[in-house]
Structures are given as structure tokens and as C-alpha cells.
Structure 1
Amino acid sequence: MVTVPVTDARMLLDALDDDQRAVASSLTGPLCVLAGAGTGKTRAITYRIAHGVQAGAFEASRVLAVTFTARAAGEMRSRLRDLGVGGVQARTFHAAALRQLSYFWPDAVGGSLPRIAEYKAPLVGEASGRLGLGADRLAIRDLASEIEWAKVSLVTADDYVRAASAAGRPGAAGHDLTTVARLLTMYEECKTERGVIDFEDVLLLTVGILAERDDVARAVRAQYRHFVVDEYQDVSPLQQRLLELWLGERRELCVVGDVSQTIYSFTGASPRYLTDFPRRYPEADVVRLVRDYRSTPQVVRLANDVLARAGRARSSAAVELVAQRPSGPAPTFDAYDDDAAEAQAIARRIAALVAGGVRTSEIAILYRTNAQAEAFEQALAQAGIGYLVRGGERFFARREVREAVVLLRGAARAADERPVGEIVRDVLGGAGWSAQAPTARGAVRERWESLDALVQLADDLHERRDADLPALLAELDERAAAQHAPTVEGVTLASLHAAKGLEWDAVFLAGVSDGLLPISLAEGDEAIAEERRLLYVGVTRAREHLALSFGRARTPGGRATRKPSRFLDGIWPGDGTAGQGSERSRRKARAQALAAALDDGEADPEVFERLRAWRADVARETSKPAYTILHDTTLVAIATAKPRDLRQLAVLRGIGAAKLEAYGSAVLALVRGEPLPVDSSGGR
């Protein structure tokens, strides 16, 4: 193995903050990373792997990094390649297990691996019918979810009644525990008769082979020496058992997680493996990542407040975030007459954000249940704003994407040394892509957005790696296998559960009322606590703009009985009736956030006052409103960052090229406390 000089490995560490550096520097023994939202956990663990490889502590091919979504695994592989580290296996639990199961099955069991049933519904429906239960589509979905919970919790049909009762599970689809246990048995019989297995069986069968065949276990452990598990708070008992078999007696394990983002307990996930890690590994290093690089101080403060009000229900392993970004606009709180009024108001605010330069792909509307999406789809369509519903048709399954890839493969056969973005534009120009988005909505717009996503990906790869067309096609193949779609332009509509792991510049949290958040079905302290964490996840998706709202009634003219979510008690302004989308309430919220930023010491108050006095002079001399010179939030950002030169000033939000040229020298003088330049736009 070629070892890169240690000085190069140290260069990697220099790119990290102190806490991230502690993660990347801990290369031996067990390591537990408690990483808050937006704290750069993926950066920390990918740099740790790269540092370990470059320092000679790891062999890339002997590292297995496991995460929970194909998208996250694809992103990790991409980041490792950008760091010059190839050969690391970054996969989901299921993908890693399936690879091993496919390899060892012929020898350990014989024959070929049974086909994996892509959907449970037909099998569940058949099992239900044989038992004379009868079930509609929704009932079958609920029964399938209960089967998944049992299997990932290592609960057999014989033990289901006892285990489900102990877990406080009421059964499923209106059936009692005994009936569900019978269904579990019949479901397995149906699978056996059809000669298929399901996705949970991939893990169960891998566990069985590793536990029963010492030679297979030795072969896997010889291949993989170092393990990294991301999102460790979401591990199920089945996944934990597989991880233990992969490890054997070794302790080269790094786990990363955030107990405050545990929102999948209903699927069998348990945060106890994360919280108990220091007890299971007393010698483990424990590092907390608390610096939030994603969100503004205003968003971070709200996120911390949501958790702080959990009281004793808050885990000791929870991380309190510390904002690192400059100040931004205050979160807004609005109550509307009904759900339709809420959707229309959000569409108007999105149109204003887009007019102000925010891309639609950087805006999301998040809600508790998928049934809430329809009102927002209608409001956005009426406003002429493109959108996509997360959880819809997969990007690489779309017809226009499949046809585009075929065209690009054909183009790759010809020698063409132009930049890959230029080639892709030429090829896709004949397939419906144009430099300007079409004015039409519906299928025409969706087709263009899919093709434009491929164009943007080509530009991005060329910029980052100087990639050519074959490299782009290889990237597309990998992304298709991992279902890691490129960004599609349009407002994202998603449930709070589907939004985990994503982030946007602007987030609208809709329907934040009791009955929806927490949802009325949540019973017991643990279920309510998980609903609070769901709100926390929603808040921490926002980088800068955050709006919380609800409709007092479900339909126009309906009874206005809804109240703000109990999780916002002491946070929601007034009694929940003052919002109503009024500009006065927004001004008040902005003023409160401004005062808080100054009081908390995030911004230098003396610099802020100098800037504000100067702005007032400029406003009088130019007969312009003060906020058009520089907004309050921009003044706070300047007083927080205290830039030393024009380059540092230019990166702050609200400082465009025109303002930089007009006011840059004056602002820098004010930050330094020096006299204003004679020939500045500062009015002196």
C-alpha cells in the first residue's frame, strides 16, 4: 500500500474545526460521535476515513461505511472520491448484506439466491385472504408495516404477542395481537410457496449464515477491518446484530448519531444503541459536534428552544447547537383562517422569495401527513410555481431521463473534447431541453426540469473534477444504482419524516397545530417525545428562512378549533391568534430577533450602532428608506462577522456587487472604527 506523507494527512485535519478534528484524529478503538443537526458529521467521518487512509492506519478496501439511505451512501462515496480516497465501501445495511449474501449463498446454502419480492402488499394480501381477514389497501399497508417491525425487532410469530404487548403496540389494521401473529405465520408460508424473500430476509439470512458458518464470518472479518455507522440512532435490533457479527471480537468501530433526530421508533429503530455505546465500550472516545454551520442563529435558537422545553424527557446525550452563521431573518409564526388560506399565503411568500433570488429547489414545504400535500400542490400550481412531491416517481425511472441517458451513451462513442456541459446541452437540446425554462406547466415543465438536472450535474462534475462524458455516464450509473437523484428545480413538498437528512434555504413548516403535531394518534410519553423530535428535525432543515403556520379550521367556514402545537408553548407569539400573516407581527418578530442577537453577544453592539447611524445619514441624503441601503439583518451579519476586507464582506448575505461597490469602503471603515473615506457613499 502506498502511504501519502503525514504532512498531507495533516492538511486534511487543518480543514476541520476542533471537534471535527478530534473525530478525524481518532483512528483506533471505538469512537462515538454525538453530532447535532448541521454540524458537519458527514464531513467529519469522511475526513476521518481519508485521514486514516493517508496516514496509513486504514486500507481503503478494508473500510465499510454503513448508512441508512442509498442517497447518503452515494454522497459519502462522492465525498471520499473528492478527497482522493477510492475503494472504500459506503453502502446501506441492506446493500452491504445483499452483496455478502449473494456471494456466500451458493456455498453456504446451495443454488441461487431466491428472488427478492419488491413489494410486500401482494403477499400480505394473499396471507390475509387465506385467513379470511379481508383487507383494503390501507389495511394491507398497516399490516405490512407491522410485519417489518416484527422482523427487524427479531420477533418471531410465536413470540409476537408477548413482544408487541411489551412494546405497547396495539396490533394493526384493527386486528388484535393474536390475529397479527397468525398473519405473520401465513405471510412466511406464502413467501416460501412463491420461492421469494423480502428485504428484511436479506438481513436475517446474512445474520444466520454469519452466525452458523465460522468460515464465512472469518472471510467477512478478514475483508473489513474498520467500520463506520452513520445515523446510529436509527439502528434496529436486526441491524445491530448484523453489525456485531461483522465486528466479531474487534472494536474498530465509529458510530455517529443524534438522539434528537430519532423519529423512526415505529419501524423498530432504537436510540439505545447510541446512548449505551459508552457503557458497552468503556474505553470509547466520545466527541460532541455542536457547531451548526447550516442554520442562522435565529433558526438554531428556535431548534434549541423546542428541545429545551422537553424538560426531563430530553436525553442527556442530546446536543445543544451553537450557531456559526451570521444572523438572518427571524422565524415567523402565522395562524390562518383555514388550510386553504394557509396554502395560498405560503405560495405568495414563496413567490416573493423567488422574486428575491431564492431558487425554488432551495425551498421546501414540510408537513406531518402526506394528506396535507394536496392543498399546497393546488396553491403552487395556481401561482405558477413548479414543485415536486418527495416520494413520487423515482428520478432515474422517468422516461425522459432513461431516453436522455441512451442519447448520451451514443454521444460518448464519438471523440469530442469540448467541456462535458456543452456536449450535454447539444445532445439534450434535441430531446426537449432549452436554455430557458418553458412557460407551460405540467408534463412539459417536468420533462424540462429532469433534463435540466442532467445539464446542471454535468456542469458540477466538470467544475469539481474536470470530468468528461464517460465520467458523467459512470456517475449517472452509480447514482441510478443508489437512487441518488440530482437536484430538480422546483419547490419540494415532503412529510417531516421524508425530509430528514435534507436541507433548504427556506422552509415552511405547515400545520403546526395540536392534532397534527403531535398527531392525534400519538399516545404515551415516548410517542409524544418522538413527535417533538419530529418538529426539531423540521426546524433544523432550514438554513435561513423559516416559517411556522397552521390553519385554525380545516375547511373555509369550518369551526376554528385548532391551536398552535403544544411544543411551541412559550415560543409562539401571544395566544396563537396574533400571527394571521400580519406585517406588524413580522416586524415585531424581526425586532425581537435583532435584540436577541445583540444581547447574546453574537454581534458587536458598537459596530452595529456605528453602521446604523451611518445608514440613517445615507438614507437622509439619498431620500431612500433605510432598509434599502442595508437591511437590519445585514447590519447584524456585518457586526457579527466583522469583515477585514472586501472579499470577506462580499460573502455576507445582503451584500451584492452593487452594494459592495457603493458602500464597501465605508462599511469596512466603520467596522474598524476608522473615519469614513472622503469619497465614499457614506454621505461624508
Structure 2
Amino acid sequence: MSHLGRFAGHRPRRQRVNESRGQSVERSTSKFENKPFGASSARVPRAELAAGAAARQTASVGGQLGELDAAYFRGLEQAGIRLNPAQIAAVRCTEGPLLTLAGAGSGKTSTLVCRTGYLLDVRGIEPSGILLLTFSSKAAAEMRERIAGLPGIGEYEAGRIQARTFHSFCLWLLFSQGGQKEIFGDTRRQHIQLQQIMRELSLQDAYPPENLLALLSSYKVNLMTAQQLPEKSEADRQMKRILLRYEAWKEENGKIDFDDVLTGAHAMLKQRPELLERLRRRFTHLMVDEFQDTNLLQYEIVKMIAAPRNNLMVVGDDDQTIYSFNGARSEFILEFEKLYPKARVITLDINYRSVPAIVGLGNEVIRHNKMRRNKTLRAANGGSLLPAYMRPDSADDEANEVVEFIRREVAAGRREYGDFAILYRSSSSNRAVLEQLVIRDIPHIDYGDGRLLYEHWLVKPVLDHMRLSINRRDFDAMPSVLPTLYIARDKGMAHIRETDAGRPKKGPLVHLLTLPGLKDFQLDKIRQRLEMIRSLKGLVPAAAITQIRQSFYDAYIQAGEHSEQTSHREMLKEMLDELETSAGRFDSIVSFLAFVDDMLLRNQQTAAVKSQAQGNRVALMTIHKSKGLEFPVVFLIGASEGTLPHSSALGADSLRDTRVGLEGDASYAEALEEERRLAYVAVTRAKEQLFVSSPAMQRGKKAAVSRFLLSAFGQDTSASDAASRAEFGGRRVGAPDPGRFGKVRTGRMGRADAQPGSSGQSRGAAAPARTQSVPVWLCTSDSCVAWTRIMHSKDMNAAHKPCPLCGSPMKKGRKDVPV
């Protein structure tokens, strides 16, 4: 039996383990099952297995090929390259527009490479007449290398082919025409320049630089300029002033960024028809890889060069359009024949990557999208392993299970660390699993920014307020506090240090009260902040974070976003919620900060030896980062409502930063379909094994299993859709949640299954209330159901407590309470 037999429906053995509360309970050694929790159907989706002849056809089978064609394909076979009928058809279609729909793992790169060889070897096209565009320099280099390895084609011919990224090609074009501006592509330097501009405009730290750059980029890739930025609100006007100043600074200093490379090439082609005509004569055949990732600006450049011959082959998969935030549009594939009525469409529908059950799950996940080309993938590879599903209590339980499974597999010699990838919807979702990998010294590589949650610019001020509550002379913690008081860091810290040198204080922040130029209301805010910092010391860390957020920080962040409802604001709230969840495991601020410092130190040591190659390390990355990659074993974590699909998508019809021209139901439908495409991409990264985890609690709130999983098993998810849309679309995105760690209270429930404040309605009468798990004292008397929330560290550290209602002893525990 396979070592994974227990994941395929076999009942796992059970063992007794000690819980953190010291109680002995029964728990399964494995939480994985062969269908998602709550799935109504036991039928496991499986893809049809492609017959051998269809999966890999020899060139000699068909008989319809001409002599030259047959000789070319026989040469490929002798080199170990065997194509199926659809791939051969795409290779031989060399004249006119061609849309090649390439499903996940369907061999699109082999098709592009062999088609290039066919153009050279059979059609006699000059190598310099072929333009092959893709989206990463790694992919372009791989294309050139594989083309050079084809029979009869050497490195010289392959080197003459223009196989480039869009940016590389446009940069080549600009420089070939005398362009001399310096590339200003270092993100850190861009951020510094924007911060400098904001200081000059007296808008210190008003907007995160990454938000400003993303806004500017979205306009440029949609053929608009900074001059066309909106001016509907004061926030709009301020951002426009900043970005216009940024654009002017680049022009004055002879610099261009990566978007400018594309806009500059596009403008040059529009303004110089003789240059465009030369390019059209030279490049007789164009091919575009990953066409679903193309934005409007890139598509316009391709169309201009391809015309009027239109010998244009585009290869892509509308089901993998997941970069709408970068301007990618699925309609470019969906409406290809509208622009090119004579276009031929060929579908590559055989998956060579994954076992049938993984391909089948992907098929069932994506088929519920309405805005897509109809295609169902078949599997070329056999295999009986099934995807396995887990329903852990929380993200921390999830991380424990995942990392322990990886450790066991490697220890048993069944896998190497490099076989595993852990995928998640958003970067903040890796907090728990990254901590487990670091704590257990398991080799791993984080393909994000390499920073822990605790290092993020949003989180650091919260932690520094907590540090100051423990040590009010912590000068390192002060700089991040000052912007939240709308005081410039450099000016404020210089005043604090200078004044404290002559008159040392127990809490040097008090020197801000003598900072010249402050108004009365600012002085009041400083006094309130100093009092709040002193009050934090007695709180448990989760309550301290809530106090910081409710007192000022949520409002400060919203002010930075100028109260606009954006998906970015939702991401910020998600990070702070995750910080509260992490802090909820600790009894005191001191112990929490000690853990944070230990994690930061360990992560720095790991980062010191980091390289971009995975090697024999567990890979961690967002689903977006994983597109185009494959791994023997994939863990998809956080597959719960509110995370996948993400809350920003569920509330898309109330957000400001949705696609232009899409509002209300249209915006919601588009966002939800992209979330489903993300789920599809995640599932189809796995070659041999797939594990999917759907935590029951996400950031202190109950979370249902992702509708994408349940619908794949035939379940109607319309009810959960309505509930989630009401929850995430009906609230103000980014606003603080009421009731989070509010006043200590005693609750009395009339029924064992009732929640405080419940009306006793039937379960189906309304959508379930949002809840969070909080630390509480529980009465031990069978006849009393009293409970009291724990807010202060002295309560958390106490060994016992009498019930305020019946006097019986109380014990510590946790309780789900409405938010």
C-alpha cells in the first residue's frame, strides 16, 4: 500500500496527546481526508486519461504530412521530442493569426520551441525575422536554449532570433534609436524619491510609495498618463500632485522606469511610421507566450508590429488570467476572433504534468467560471493518488500539521525538502507556516520579499508602541511612532535626543510637548498617546494591539488611505488581524516581544544564506508567484472563505480600485472569477500530490470551506456566496471591527449551543454571525454557564478565579464570541 494510504479514506489510528491546557484528549494522527469538509458528494473528480496515441503521436502515423514536414517531425522524435496532434497542428500553422489555448501543463513551451524550429527548418524563415515575446528573462533564455538544441539548428541561428521579454524588446528598440536615459528600476530608490517628494509637499508619509507606483502603473499600461489621474477628492488631488512631481523629476534627471520603457516604445512607433514599417518588414512572424498576462499597452505594441500580415501566434490560457492588478485582461483571449476574424484556434488539452485526480479537480474548480473558453483537460500520466483535504482549527494548527508532515516524509526518506511547495493567496497568510519552518530549522525559501510579518512597515509601529510600554526609554522604538502623531521622524527624534540629553526623562517621548510649532490639538494627542502607552503594560498582547488599533492606528491607516474603500486597505487590515492572531498565543507583552525578536533574529540568519534557486528547500510563495511552476508536492493553505476567495474580491462591488468600467455586480463577478482562476492555478501546480487545507478559524473569525472546493464536489454554493457577499461587501472595508476585545463581561446562556445575544432563530433564518476566538475564564460547575473574558496579564497568569455568579472555581479556555 502507498505510504499515503491514510489520506485516501483509510481510518487513521488515534493517539492520546497532551493539550496546552494540560488535558488529555483524543486526536487523529492525521487530519487529511479524501474530500473537503462539508462536501455533499463522495465522488472524487478525475480527469479522463488520454490514450497513448493521442498523448504522443509519431509523425509517421498521420500520413497526411508532406515529405519535408514528416522529415522534420521524425527528426524531433529521434531527439526525444514527441508531439500530440494538436501540438503538431499548432506547429504547422504558420500563416495568419493563431490562438493556441494551452491548458495547465499542456506542453506550450515545447509547441513554441518546435514551431520556431519548423519556421526555420521547413519554411525557411530568416532567424532575424522571428520575434518571440514572453514575460520573464528566465523563460526567454530557456526558449533560446531549447531552440538551439533542436535537430539541425545551432546556437548561431538561435542567437539571431529575437526571443525577449516585452521590456527587453522595447528597451532594445529605444536604445537602437538613440535613447540614452538611465533605467530607474530600483524599487527602494523609487520609494525614497517619492518620500522625498511627499516631504517637499508637506505630505510626510501620507501614502505608501508602493501604492503610488501601482496607481501610476495602472494608468500607463492602460494608455493613460499621470495628467489623466482623477481629482474627485482631496486624496486624488494630493496623489496626482505627488506623481506629477515624480514624473517631472525623472524627466529632469534623464531617468525612465520600466513602464516608461513600454510607453516610450509605443509612442515612438506611433510617431515614427517609417520605423514601424521597418519593424514590420523585418519581423514576419510574431509569437507571444503567456498571452493571458498581456496588458493593453503590450497588446497594442504587438498588434502594430504584426500588421498587416498578422502572422501572429499567441499562446495562453484564459483560465490562468490572474494578473488583472497589472492590467492583464482575459478578454484579449476571449475576443481574439473579433479582432482577427480569420484566426485559427487550437486547443492543447492534454496535461502532461499531473496525475488524473489533480487534473480532474482543476477541471471541476474552473468549469464554474462563466467568462471562459470551454475546455476540459485530459491527463497523460497515470497514478492513483488523490488530493487530500484538511480542516484544522486555525492557521497555527494548519502550520503544525503541514510542517510536521514534511518533516516526517523527509525523515523517512520518501521525499526531499525541495519536493515541497506551500502556496497561499496573500503574503500575510504565510505567517504561521513560516514561523514553524524557522523554529524547526527546516530549510526553506520564501519567494516573497523575505520579510516576516513583524518586519512590515504597517506592523512595526504597533510593535514599537508595545516596546515603549515595557521600556519607555527605547529610543529605537520611537521613530516609527512619530509619523502616527503626524510629526516628521528626523525632526522629532532630533528634538527628543537633544532635549533629553539635558533633562533625561523616564519617558523621553514627553519632550515632544516642547517641540516648536505644535498646535493645541496636537499637544492633546501627544498627551493621550503617552497615557495610552502607559496603559498597555498590564494588557495581554492581543488586547494591547486591539487597544492601539481602536485608539488611533486604524484611523491613522484609513487617513493614509483617505477613507477610500480599496483592496489595499483590506490587505492592511488583514495584516493587523494576523498580528492579533499571532499575539493571542501569548500571556504577556514581554513574552510576545521576546518571541518576535527571536523570530527576527532567526530569519535574518536564514536570509544571510538565501539564493534565488530553490535547491533542497521547501518553497513558500503566493499563488501569483507560482504560475508557470510545478512541484512534486503542493500544499495549498488557507483555502477558506474570506481568504480564497479573498475578502477583497467578495467586497469588490464596494471597492474603489476595481477595473475601470466595471461596477457593482460586474465588478463582483469579475473579481470572483479571478479568485477561482487563482484556485485553479494553485491546484494545477502539483504533479504527484496535492494537499488542501481550510482552517475553521481565520484571524479570529469563523471561516467556511472555500466554495471553490465544495462546488468541485457538486455542491451548490449559492447560499454561502450570498452570505459571504453580505458579510464582506456590506461592511466598510478596512474599518475596525466592533467588539474586538472589548470590555470584560460575564455572559449567561440559556442553551448550550446559543451565543450571547442570539435571538434563538433557526439556523437557516439568517447568515451566521461573524465570530472570533478569545481567551476566557469558564465556570466549572455543571449547573452554571458563566464565562468572563480575559483582558489583563494578571488574569492570564492567575492560577484560579471564583465564578462571579455561583462562586465555583473557573478554568481558562477559549470561546467563540460574535464580532
TM-score by length of 1: 0.64
Correspondence for 1:103 among 176, 186, 199: 176
Counting only pairs closer than 5 Å after superposition, residues 617-632 of structure 1 correspond to structure 2 as none
Gaps of 5+ in 2: 1-66, 452-601, 653-667, 718-819
Q: Secondary structure at 2:624's aligned position in 1?
A: helix
Question: 1:268-321 CA deviation, whole Å, 9 max, x = no partner?
Answer: 1112222222121122211001001111110011111111233xx241x24321
Using the alignment, how far apart are the partners of 2:715 and 2:264 within structure 1?
A: 56
Question: What is the total number of aligned residue pairs between the two structures?
Answer: 471
Aligned to 1:596: none
Larger Rg computed on CA atoms: 2
Using the alignment, how far apart are the partners of 1:258 and 1:242 within structure 2?
A: 20
Equivalent residue letter for 1:124: L
Equivalent residue letter for 1:262: T
Correspondence for 2:94 among 21, 27, 37: 27
Correspondence for 1:530 among 670, 674, 677: 674
Aligned to 2:281: 222
Cα offset, 1:502, TM superposition: 0.5
* Structure 1 residues 305 and 182: CA distance shift in structure 2, 3 A: same
CA contact (8 A) 1:386 1:490 kept: yes
Using the alignment, how far apart are the partners of 1:500 and 1:444 within structure 2?
A: 29
Using the alignment, how far apart are the partners of 2:181 and 2:380 within structure 1?
A: 50
* Structure 1 residues 289 and 552: CA distance shift in structure 2, 3 A: same
* Structure 1 residues 347 and 207: CA distance shift in structure 2, 3 A: same
Correspondence for 1:362 among 396, 400, 419: 419
Cα offset, 1:570, TM superposition: 3.8
CA contact (8 A) 2:365 2:711 kept: no
Aligned to 1:53: 120
Gaps of 5+ in 1: 107-111, 166-170, 395-440, 451-484, 577-684
Using the alignment, how far apart are the partners of 2:263 and 2:140 within structure 1?
A: 21
CA contact (8 A) 1:307 1:314 kept: no
* Structure 1 residues 235 and 575: CA distance shift in structure 2, 3 A: closer
Aligned to 1:495: 622
Correspondence for 1:373 among 430, 435, 458: 430
Cα offset, 1:47, TM superposition: 0.7
CA contact (8 A) 2:445 2:610 kept: no
CA contact (8 A) 1:368 1:511 kept: yes
CA contact (8 A) 1:449 1:489 kept: no
Using the alignment, how far apart are the partners of 2:416 and 2:140 within structure 1?
A: 26
Using the alignment, how far apart are the partners of 2:678 and 2:406 within structure 1?
A: 23
Using the alignment, how far apart are the partners of 2:342 and 2:714 within structure 1?
A: 47
Residue 141 (1) aligns with residue 204 (2): no
Residue 211 (1) aligns with residue 270 (2): yes
Question: 1:197-218 CA deviation, whole Å, 9 max, x = no partner?
Answer: 1111111111111221233223
Using the alignment, how far apart are the partners of 2:191 and 2:355 within structure 1?
A: 44
Using the alignment, how far apart are the partners of 1:211 and 1:302 within structure 2?
A: 46
Correspondence for 2:641 among 514, 522, 535: 514
CA contact (8 A) 1:104 1:216 kept: no
Using the alignment, how far apart are the partners of 2:263 and 2:606 within structure 1?
A: 44
Q: Secondary structure at 1:133's aligned position in 2?
A: coil
Counting only pairs closer than 5 Å after superposition, residues 283-302 of structure 1 correspond to structure 2 as 283-302=342-361
Using the alignment, how far apart are the partners of 2:450 and 2:675 within structure 1?
A: 28
Q: Secondary structure at 1:328's aligned position in 2?
A: coil
Question: 1:367-416 CA deviation, whole Å, 9 max, x = no partner?
Answer: 1111222321221234442110113579xxxxxxxxxxxxxxxxxxxxxx
Question: 1:332-365 CA deviation, whole Å, 9 max, x = no partner?
Answer: 1111111111001001221233334323222100
Aligned to 2:687: 543
Aligned to 1:461: none
Using the alignment, how far apart are the partners of 1:53 and 1:240 within structure 2?
A: 25
Using the alignment, how far apart are the partners of 2:638 and 2:217 within structure 1?
A: 29
Equivalent residue letter for 1:9: Y
Cα offset, 1:177, TM superposition: 4.0
Using the alignment, how far apart are the partners of 1:6 and 1:318 within structure 2?
A: 31
* Structure 1 residues 152 and 342: CA distance shift in structure 2, 3 A: same
Counting only pairs closer than 5 Å after superposition, residues 33-48 of structure 1 correspond to structure 2 as 33-48=100-115
Equivalent residue letter for 2:120: V
Correspondence for 2:196 among 115, 118, 126: 126
Correspondence for 1:552 among 696, 703, 728: 696
Moved over 6 A (4+): 441-449, 572-576
Structure whose residues are more often helix by fraction = 1
Question: 1:553-576 CA deviation, whole Å, 9 max, x = no partner?
Answer: 346xx55x1211122224479999
TM-score by length of 2: 0.54
Cα offset, 1:251, TM superposition: 0.9
How many percent of aligned residue pairs carry the same amino acid? 34
Residue 320 (1) aligns with residue 376 (2): yes
CA contact (8 A) 1:33 1:289 kept: yes
Cα offset, 1:446, TM superposition: 7.9
Using the alignment, how far apart are the partners of 2:349 and 2:107 within structure 1?
A: 9
Task: Say what the alpha-carbon RMSD is for the aligned residues.
Answer: 2.9
CA contact (8 A) 2:183 2:258 kept: no
Question: 1:501-542 CA deviation, whole Å, 9 max, x = no partner?
Answer: 111010000011111111111211111111111111100100
